[in-house]
Amino acid sequence: MKEATTMNTPMVLAQGVRKSFGAHEVLKGIDLEVGNGQVMCFLGPSGSGKSTFLRCMNRLETIDAGRIRVGGELVGYKEKNGRLHHLTEAEQARQRRDIGMVFQRFNLFAHMSALENVMEAPLRVLKRPKAEVRERAQAALERVGLTGHERKYPAQLSGGQQQRVAIARALAMEPKLMLFDEPTSALDPELVGEVLDVMRGLASTGMTMIVVTHEMEFAKDVGDELVFMDGGLIVERGTPREVLENPRHERTQRFLRATS
Ligand code: ADP
Ligand code: MG
């Protein structure tokens, strides 16, 4: 809950997070702290565990060891008398609402207009009155620069516009943390900028954001910190400029050479 989050409580605190799929250990002990209002960028080769870590944060995956706190609350558990208890389905759903997620593929409902896509979760999950939900959905679409496109269907929108609808859809739930998993990787190059601009604007309003991206310029401009992940571990972290321009670790250097 927002009240419980003071400036001193990090928005995200992950400690010793481990996750395996069968015999394959994908996360090998991740420690991460993301301050309130910070933008944390994630970089790393395909298969290094970036998406899995993001999915653990809103419990689309359960973790095998360690703990994750978002806004001071333990993800997936509650503490009572010094012991951990699983959250109920309802408690889990409530917790998940605080975390907005934007994926590489926008996954909009094709048979719903932009406005209906943004209204869907607040209507179904928050069960708020329709007039109020519509007003908030319109405000969310305005935040992503799509006023005037409310009645269009996904097929009538460009990829960049569709991704902006997906961002508005996440914002309509009033999350306290936004996770972006390669949000521009599926877009034609000329459409990348408009999505990054929306994310830049969101960051400037103080939204806490974790962004998996290979957009180095965006990371340098907007990121407060950048972590480089490889083989299920955070290999290096620092300001984006430090890590991108002066990587200390050999694996980071090799990755940056290969992608530049
Ligand atoms: P990244 O996002 O950095 O490319 P992922 O987190 O998607 O990496 O994947 C890390 C590793 O975990 C990969 O080897 C991937 O095949 C594996 N993996 C991810 N999800 C699953 C799953 N549901 N079942 C089995 N293996 C998975
Ligand atoms: Mg991924």
Q: What ipTM was predicted for this assembly?
A: 0.98
User: Would you say 186 and 102 are in contact if contact means Cβ atoms under 8 Å apart?
Assistant: no
* Ligand 1 geometric centre to CA of 225 (Å): 24
Q: pLDDT value at position 2?
A: 43
Q: What is the DSSP letter of 119?
A: H
* Ligand 2 geometric centre to CA of 181 (Å): 7
DSSP reduced 3-state for 102: strand
Ligand 1 pocket test, candidate residues 26, 51, 233, most atoms within 8 A of CB: 26
Q: pLDDT value at position 7?
A: 57
Q: What are phi and psi of 187, to 5 degrees?
A: -95, 150
> pTM (2 decimals)?
0.94
User: Would you say 180 and 105 are in contact if contact means Cβ atoms under 8 Å apart?
Assistant: no
Q: pLDDT value at position 3?
A: 46
Tokens of 7: 């400036």
Taking Cα atoms as reference points, which of 16, 58, 42 lies closest to residue 218? 42
Q: pLDDT value at position 9?
A: 87
Q: What is the rounded CA–CA span in Å between residue 78 and residue 98?
A: 16
* Ligand 1 geometric centre to CA of 51 (Å): 7
Q: pLDDT value at position 6?
A: 54
Length of the chain: 260
Low-confidence stretches of the chain (pLDDT beneath 50): 1-5
User: Would you say 15 and 29 are in contact if contact means Cβ atoms under 8 Å apart?
Assistant: no
Q: pLDDT value at position 1?
A: 42
Residue having the nearest C-alpha atom to atom 16 of ligand 1? 47
Residue having the nearest C-alpha atom to atom 23 of ligand 1? 21
